[in-house]
Chain A
Amino acid sequence: MVRYDSTSLKLNKLAKYLLLVGVILSVVVGILVFTGSQTVSGLLSEDSATENYVKGILIAAIGSLVTWIISFLIKSYAKLVQDTADIRNGVPVFTGKTVKEKPLLQRMSKYWGFYLMFIPVLIFVLVFHYAPMFGIQYAFYSWKIVGDPVWVGFANFDKLFSQSQFSVSFWNTIEFSVVKLLLNTGLAVVISLLLNEMISLKFKKLSQTIIYLPHFMSWVVTASVFSLMLSPSGNGLINQLLIKMGIIDQGIYFMADKQWWRVWYYIINVWRETGWQTIIFMATLTSIDPGLYEAASIDGAGRWKKMCYVTFPALANTIITVLILNLAKIMNLFESVFVLQNDSVRRSTNVLQTYVYYQTFNSGASADYGYTTAIGLFRSLVGLVLMVICNFASKKVRGRGIM
Chain B
Amino acid sequence: MAKNAPIEYVTPSGVKVTPPAHINKPKSQITVFNIINGIIFVIVCLIILVPIWKVLVDSLDLTAGYGMKLIPTKFGLDGYKSIFTNKSLLQPLWVSVYTTVSGTFLGLLLSTMGAYVLIQWEMPFRTFFANMLLVTMIFSGGMIPSYLVMRAIGLTDNPLGPILLPAINVYNLVLMRNFFEGIPKSLFESADLDGCTPMGAFWRIALPLSKAALASIGLMFAVAYWNDYTNFKLYITDRNLYNFQMKLRDMMQSSDLPEAVGGATENTIRNACVITAILPFMVLYPFLQKYFVKGINIGAVKE
Q: Which residues from chain A sit less than 8 Å from chain B, CB to CB?
A: 69, 72-73, 76-77, 79-80, 83-84, 87, 104, 107-108, 111, 113-118, 120-122, 124-125, 127-136, 138, 191, 194-195, 197-200, 203, 206-207, 209-214, 216-221, 223-229, 234-235, 237, 240-241, 244, 271, 275, 279-280, 283, 290, 293-294, 297, 303, 334-335, 338-339, 342, 353, 356-357, 360, 369, 372-373, 376-377, 379-380, 383-384, 387, 403
Which B residues are in CB contact (< 8 Å) with A357? 143, 234
Please give the number of chain B residues whose Cβ is less than 8 angstroms from any Cβ of chain A in the complex. 106
* Nearest CB in chain A: distance from B97 CB, A: 15
Mark B132-166 against chain A: 1 for CB-CB distance below 8 A, else 0: 11111111111111111100010000000000110
Instruction: State whether the Cβ of B281 lies closer than 8 Å to any Cβ in chain A.
Output: yes
* Nearest CB in chain B: distance from A268 CB, A: 10
Asked if residues B113 and A120 are in contact (CB atoms below 8 Å), the reply is yes
Cα of A377 to Cα of B202 in the assembled complex, Å: 40
In the complex, residue of chain A having the shortest beta-carbon distance to the beta carbon of B174: A403
In the complex, residue of chain B having the shortest beta-carbon distance to the beta carbon of A207: B41
* Nearest CB in chain B: distance from A301 CB, A: 11
Query: Residue B285 contacts which of A113, A213, A283, A403 (CB distance < 8 angstroms)?
Result: A213
Asked if residues B143 and A356 are in contact (CB atoms below 8 Å), the reply is yes
Between-chain CB contacts (< 8 Å), 13 pairs:
A80-B125, A114-B198, A124-B168, A127-B153, A198-B41, A219-B227, A220-B229, A228-B270, A244-B68, A271-B47, A279-B293, A376-B143, A380-B142
Instruction: State whether the Cβ of B98 lies closer than 8 Å to any Cβ in chain A.
Output: no
Q: A218-B227, A234-B65, A376-B144 are in contact. Are A118 and B132 (CB under 8 A)?
A: no
Instruction: State whether the Cβ of B95 lies closer than 8 Å to any Cβ in chain A.
Output: no
Cα of A275 to Cα of B49 in the assembled complex, Å: 13
Cα of A293 to Cα of B71 in the assembled complex, Å: 46
Instruction: State whether the Cβ of B208 lies closer than 8 Å to any Cβ in chain A.
Output: no
Cα of A360 to Cα of B146 in the assembled complex, Å: 13
Mark B239-269 against chain A: 1 for CB-CB distance below 8 A, else 0: 0000001101100110000000000000100
Mark B29-67 against chain A: 1 for CB-CB distance below 8 A, else 0: 110011001101100110111111011001000000111
Which A residues are in CB contact (< 8 Å) with B267? 228, 235
Which B residues are in CB contact (< 8 Å) with A116? 199
Interfacial residues of chain B within 115-132, with CB under 8 A of chain A in the complex: 116-117, 120-129, 131-132
Query: Residue A135 contacts which of B145, B153, B271 (CB distance < 8 angstroms)?
Result: B145
Instruction: State whether the Cβ of B286 lies closer than 8 Å to any Cβ in chain A.
Output: yes
Which A residues are in CB contact (< 8 Å) with B47? 271
Contacts A113-B198, A275-B48 known; list 12 others, CB within 8 Å: A76-B128, A104-B124, A111-B120, A129-B140, A133-B139, A198-B34, A199-B27, A218-B277, A271-B48, A279-B296, A342-B253, A403-B174
Which B residues are in CB contact (< 8 Å) with A356? 142-144
Cα of A384 to Cα of B66 in the assembled complex, Å: 49
Asked if residues B145 and A125 are in contact (CB atoms below 8 Å), the reply is no
Instruction: State whether the Cβ of B114 lies closer than 8 Å to any Cβ in chain A.
Output: yes
Instruction: State whether the Cβ of B85 lies closer than 8 Å to any Cβ in chain A.
Output: no
* Nearest CB in chain A: distance from B294 CB, A: 10
Asked if residues A220 and B68 are in contact (CB atoms below 8 Å), the reply is no
Query: Residue B199 contacts which of A117, A122, A218, A224 (CB distance < 8 angstroms)?
Result: A117
Which B residues are in CB contact (< 8 Å) with A117? 113, 116-117, 198-199, 202
Cα of A79 to Cα of B121 in the assembled complex, Å: 12
Asked if residues B127 and A80 are in contact (CB atoms below 8 Å), the reply is yes
Asked if residues B41 and A195 are in contact (CB atoms below 8 Å), the reply is yes
Q: A121-B117, A220-B249 are in contact. Are A235 and B141 (CB under 8 A)?
A: no
Query: Residue A197 contacts which of B33, B109, B174, B252 (CB distance < 8 angstroms)?
Result: B33
Asked if residues A121 and B168 are in contact (CB atoms below 8 Å), the reply is yes
Which B residues are in CB contact (< 8 Å) with A279? 293, 296-297
Which B residues are in CB contact (< 8 Å) with A294? 20-22
A-B pairs with the 8 shortest C-beta distances?
A135-B145, A132-B141, A376-B142, A218-B227, A113-B198, A124-B168, A132-B145, A121-B114
Residue among B49, B122, B124, B128 with max Cβ neighbours from chain A (10 Å): B124
In the complex, residue of chain B having the shortest beta-carbon distance to the beta carbon of A384: B139
Cα of A384 to Cα of B267 in the assembled complex, Å: 45
Which B residues are in CB contact (< 8 Å) with A372? 143-144
Which A residues are in CB contact (< 8 Å) with B124? 80, 84, 104, 107-108, 111
Cα of A293 to Cα of B40 in the assembled complex, Å: 24
Asked if residues B149 and A135 are in contact (CB atoms below 8 Å), the reply is yes
In the complex, residue of chain B having the shortest beta-carbon distance to the beta carbon of A227: B252
Asked if residues A111 and B123 are in contact (CB atoms below 8 Å), the reply is yes
Which B residues are in CB contact (< 8 Å) with A380? 139-142
Asked if residues B126 and A80 are in contact (CB atoms below 8 Å), the reply is yes
Cα of A120 to Cα of B40 in the assembled complex, Å: 51
In the complex, residue of chain A having the shortest beta-carbon distance to the beta carbon of B21: A297
Asked if residues A136 and B141 are in contact (CB atoms below 8 Å), the reply is yes
Cα of A279 to Cα of B292 in the assembled complex, Å: 11
Which B residues are in CB contact (< 8 Å) with A209? 285-286, 289
Asked if residues A129 and B138 are in contact (CB atoms below 8 Å), the reply is no
Query: Residue B23 contacts which of A214, A290, A387 (CB distance < 8 angstroms)?
Result: A290
Asked if residues A194 and B227 are in contact (CB atoms below 8 Å), the reply is no
Which B residues are in CB contact (< 8 Å) with A114? 116-117, 120, 123, 198
* Nearest CB in chain A: distance from B271 CB, A: 7
Asked if residues B129 and A118 are in contact (CB atoms below 8 Å), the reply is yes
Cα of A372 to Cα of B142 in the assembled complex, Å: 10
* Nearest CB in chain B: distance from A118 CB, A: 4
Cα of A77 to Cα of B124 in the assembled complex, Å: 10
Cα of A232 to Cα of B132 in the assembled complex, Å: 51
Instruction: State whether the Cβ of B179 lies closer than 8 Å to any Cβ in chain A.
Output: no
Cα of A127 to Cα of B155 in the assembled complex, Å: 11
Cα of A69 to Cα of B136 in the assembled complex, Å: 12
Which A residues are in CB contact (< 8 Å) with B253? 342
Instruction: State whether the Cβ of B167 lies closer than 8 Å to any Cβ in chain A.
Output: yes
* Nearest CB in chain B: distance from A132 CB, A: 3
In the complex, residue of chain A having the shortest beta-carbon distance to the beta carbon of B168: A124
* Nearest CB in chain B: distance from A169 CB, A: 13
